Amino acid sequence: MSILKSEFARAFKPLMSPARRYLGAWGGRGSGKSYHFGERLIWECIRQPGTSGLCVRQYQRTLAESSKKIVEDSIAKLKVDELFNITKDNIRTPGGGRIIFVGMQDHTKESIKSLEGFRIAWIDEAHMLTEQSLDMLRATMFRVPESQICASWNPTRKLDAIDRFFRVNPPDDAISVKVNWEDNPWFPGDLDKEREHDLKTSPEWYLHKWEGEYASAFVGAYFAAGLGEAKAQGRIGRVARDPLLPLRAYWDLGGAGATADAMAIWITQFVGQEIRVLDFIEGVGQTLSYYTDELRARGYERAVCHLPHDGVNTNNLTGKQYWQHLSEAGFDVPPPASNLGSGAASMRVEAVRRLLPKCWFNDDTTEPGRQALGFYHEKKHEKLGHGLGPEHDWSSHAADAFGLMAISYEEPSRAKAFGRKLDFSRMGKVV
């Protein structure tokens, strides 16, 4: 164990406590997070012969997408090759254990049981892990006494499952440390040149990439400038809900299961020339009832639910269309939007840019959604550099739902019922 300590950077010292069940290290590129846990896994297998370990990522279709190369490099660096047998699919450890490499994207509550018996799990790129995958992994590892789950990640946003677990509301037996390039005593000079280049040419992206800050903007992000103007003009703050005006919920549909896209919902009100953006709801892998319950819990049971064109699609679990489910749950659901075809994404982008000057955001409740809007960006051709349309990533679901609002927005003064007299004998219905 003395060798173990001498090989680790000082920043990882708080993680040496054997009493903690969950160990996390987060920060930017070049910090040595992944190699720390790769070496830690090797030393645990040596310290306790027979130990088996899991190297986990959310998405792993092939071993080339796994952490196997890092573990192999750690074995070579520590010069313990004779103790391990590296095969094509796994690594045999002293005492008959093994290290395997798994992607959580295809696992269910039943299939995850095949991973029982592993004493240590390391999640790399843990910011990609879904809530469902984290819950399944914790339940599986908990069955083994003195098991540990380690995680390394570069934070994307506070809403990510791993950040909520380690940094927002950590359990008593969890500890995490922030480590960046300056904490790595072996930080290579050629990588430092890349860092300095990014600092000069991509300052908006630098803090996330190298300093481990949440991703707040991307070079070429569609809405970063508009959100910056909103902040400078005081349009991000405390925005009150008008109890007399309709609530509107704009959806981007995901699905249930670990491999499903995220579901995103924006809650808005149109007040004169203002668009009041009151709330944002997002989840991954949850059933539709989760979102209807969430809407009711936040006081939006009377919100008019606007769905995109795939609102007429059939829910794989129930055989009914999404709009039918919402209607049966008691929500007002207009006909889903029309399919705008191949140019729909660009139309949404332009519509949002046009309407952002009208938008007022409630700060606390819309923060995760605004973060996604500020990150939503153009995908570039790797070699030619030209644009390929919006990047489909974690930010696109919130952006698509907000784009649906922008596309379907109609100023109250132009609405058919605007300015008409009210017949109070009919309880305020428009005549």
428 occurs within a structural domain: no
- Measured from the Cβ of residue 328, the count of other Cβ atoms closer than 10 Å reads 11
- Closest listed residue to residue 167, CA positions, set 214, 119, 204: 214
Phi, then psi, of 399 in degrees rounded to 5: -65, -40
Q: In the chain, what percentage of residues exceed pLDDT 90?
A: 57
- Measured from the Cβ of residue 172, the count of other Cβ atoms closer than 10 Å reads 8
Are 79 and 132 within one domain? yes
Are 175 and 305 within one domain? no
Q: Tell me, what CATH number does 49's domain have? A: 3.40.50.300
Instruction: Provide CB contacts within 8 A for 82, sequence distance 6+.
Output: none
Are 248 and 325 within one domain? yes
Domains: count for the chain: 2
Residues 367-384: tens digit of each pLDDT: 999 989 988 988 765 556
* pLDDT (0 to 100) of residue 427: 41
The H or E element containing residue 124 is strand 120-124
Are 179 and 232 within one domain? no
Are 161 and 261 within one domain? no
423 occurs within a structural domain: no
Banded pLDDT at 233 (limits 50, 70, 90): very high
Longest dimension (CA), the chain: 90
Question: Residue 140 in contact with residue 113, Cβ under 8 Å?
Answer: yes
Question: Residue 176 in contact with residue 147, Cβ under 8 Å?
Answer: no
382, with CB counted inside 10 A (0-12, 13-18, 19+), is exposed
SS3 state at 297? helix
332 occurs within a structural domain: yes
Among 135-139, 222-226, 381-385, top mean pLDDT goes to 135-139
Are 185 and 238 within one domain? no
Are 31 and 134 within one domain? yes
Query: Which of 136, 164, 189 is a domain's end point?
Result: 189
SS3 state at 379? strand
pLDDT above 80 for 162: yes
Banded pLDDT at 194 (limits 50, 70, 90): very high
Report, as an integer, the average pLDDT of 118-134: 92
Question: Distance between alpha carbon 64 and the CA centroid of its chain, in Å?
Answer: 23
Higher pLDDT, 317 or 58: 58
Q: Tell me, what CATH number does 244's domain have? A: 3.30.420.280
Are 181 and 272 within one domain? no
Query: Which of 166, 189, 212 is a domain's end point?
Result: 189
Report, as an integer, the average pLDDT of 207-221: 80
Strand ranges in 332-381 using DSSP code E only, listed in sequence order: 359-362, 378-380
Residue 351 lies in domain: 224-414
Are 246 and 385 within one domain? yes
235 occurs within a structural domain: yes
Instruction: Provide CB contacts within 8 A for 46, sequence distance 6+.
Output: 80, 83, 94
Are 291 and 335 within one domain? yes
213 occurs within a structural domain: no
- Measured from the Cβ of residue 260, the count of other Cβ atoms closer than 10 Å reads 17
89 occurs within a structural domain: yes
205 occurs within a structural domain: no
Strand ranges in 74-155 using DSSP code E only, listed in sequence order: 85-86, 91-93, 97-103, 120-124, 148-153
Banded pLDDT at 170 (limits 50, 70, 90): very high
* pLDDT (0 to 100) of residue 114: 84
Are 180 and 286 within one domain? no
Are 163 and 247 within one domain? no
Helix, strand and coil in the chain, % to nearest 5: 40, 20, 35
User: What CA–CA distance (Å, rounded) separates 46 from 193?
Assistant: 36
Mean pLDDT of the chain, nearest integer: 86
214 occurs within a structural domain: no
